[in-house]
């Protein structure tokens, strides 16, 4: 555990007045507060340090203890133990709050002030949590239940079919517990959907390619393709060109929160030319070429 220089964090002098501390805190809060930096974990972490520094330095009693034992905080621990053995706390002004809110404070803070002892009685909403959930494309085909473990708690969530890559869902009240009776924060889950080797997705539509032989492309015929819902037989028109795209209505991805509705599947034809021609084939193709 390292010593944390709260004055340095707030960028102030050790002789800073209460007003200067308040001003420094507000200046940094305006820059780093999570309300102003959504999805910025780095800013969030820095703000926690700023908040912690402010908690200590804006409270005259805590500041006094911090200044007294600051760099030698280990001695403060020993001092505290001696005092506790006599049934008296050196930080009698501090209030002790347990629970999840402890994680907002560094070990250093807890060591000096016995847990996240906030001096103020203001109710704070708990911190929001952000989590990422990786899914395969096929996992998002059907509405499914999944149990997540967030900070040791099991949370069962329903993932609606058709969820998109990067989509965020909010689980109200599943963030950190509030402080001083404040409401709990929320849990934001960002879905990361891995690319599929056979299909590309754009919104509710799916895109795939299929290869047909030269003769089917020229003369027409049948071909079978894989869709995410199973195999589908397609009729290939005569004289189908390379790169021809066809649309299979309703064979795409399920539409988010619209049960029974699907996007479309676009199939692009690629034509495989015959290789290793026999002499007879060469002669026939030569004959054909003379006809054009």
Partner 1 sequence: MKTTDLIPANEFCTHHHIELSFIHALKESGLIEITSIEEKVFVPISQLPQLEKLVRLYYEMDINLEGIETITYLLQRLNDLHQQVLLLSNRLSMYEGD
Query: Which residues bind to partner 1, rule: CB under 8 A?
Result: 26, 29-30, 33, 35-36, 38-39, 122-123, 125, 164-166, 186, 195, 200-202, 207
What whole-number distance in Å separates Cα of residue 227 and Cα of residue 34? 43
Pick the closer one to partner 1 by CB: 173 or 274: 173
For the chain, what's the residue count?
292
Measured from the CB of residue 92, what is the shortest distance to partner 1 in angstroms?
25
Measured from the CB of residue 242, what is the shortest distance to partner 1 in angstroms?
15
Measured from the CB of residue 200, what is the shortest distance to partner 1 in angstroms?
5
Pick the closer one to partner 1 by CB: 33 or 44: 33
What whole-number distance in Å separates Cα of residue 241 and Cα of residue 149? 52
Query: Hunting for tokens 């329903």 — which residue is that?
Result: 158
What whole-number distance in Å separates Cα of residue 196 and Cα of residue 136? 7
Per DSSP, the three-state class of 169 is: strand
| Alpha carbon separation from 78 to 13, 72, 123 (Å, rounded) | 28, 10, 32
The continuous run of DSSP H or E covering 279 comes out as helix 279-291
Measured from the CB of residue 180, what is the shortest distance to partner 1 in angstroms?
11
The alpha carbon dihedral of 250, 251, 253, 259 has a sign of: positive
Pick the closer one to partner 1 by CB: 195 or 238: 195
Measured from the CB of residue 111, what is the shortest distance to partner 1 in angstroms?
26
Pick the closer one to partner 1 by CB: 39 or 68: 39
Calculated CA dihedral for residues 172, 176, 182, 183, nearest 10 degrees: 10
Pick the closer one to partner 1 by CB: 220 or 243: 243
Pick the closer one to partner 1 by CB: 7 or 124: 124
Measured from the CB of residue 171, what is the shortest distance to partner 1 in angstroms?
13
Per DSSP, the three-state class of 210 is: strand
Helix, strand counts (H, E) of the chain: 8, 11
């Amino acid at each position: 555990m390292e010593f944390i220089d709260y004055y340095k964090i707030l960028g102030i002098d050790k002789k800073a007045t209460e007003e200067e501390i308040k001003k420094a805190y507000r200046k940094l809060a305006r820059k780093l507060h999570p309300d102003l930096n959504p999805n910025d974990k780095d800013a969030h972490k820095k703000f926690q340090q700023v908040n912690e520094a402010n908690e200590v330095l804006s409270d005259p009693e805590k500041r006094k203890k911090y200044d007294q034992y600051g760099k030698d905080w280990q001695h403060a621990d020993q001092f505290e133990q001696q005092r506790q053995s006599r049934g008296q706390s050196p930080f009698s002004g501090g209030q002790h709050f347990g629970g999840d809110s402890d994680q907002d404070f560094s070990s250093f803070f807890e060591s000096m002030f016995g847990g996240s002892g906030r001096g103020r009685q203001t109710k704070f909403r708990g911190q929001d949590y952000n989590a990422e959930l990786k899914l395969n494309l096929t996992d998002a085909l059907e509405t499914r239940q999944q149990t997540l473990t967030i900070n040791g708690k099991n949370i069962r969530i329903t993932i609606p079919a058709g969820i998109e890559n990067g989509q965020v869902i909010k689980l109200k009240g599943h963030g950190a517990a509030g402080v001083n009776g404040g409401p709990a924060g929320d849990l934001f889950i960002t879905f990361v959907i891995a690319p599929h080797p056979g299909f590309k997705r754009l919104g509710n539509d799916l895109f795939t390619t299929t290869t047909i032989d030269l003769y089917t492309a020229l003369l027409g015929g049948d071909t079978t393709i894989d869709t995410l819902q199973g195999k589908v037989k397609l009729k290939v028109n005569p004289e189908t060109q390379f790169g021809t795209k066809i649309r299979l209505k309703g064979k795409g991805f399920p539409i988010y929160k619209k049960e029974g509705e699907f996007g479309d599947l676009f199939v692009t034809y690629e034509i495989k030319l015959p290789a290793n021609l026999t002499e007879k084939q060469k002669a026939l193709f030569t004959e054909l070429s003379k006809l054009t």
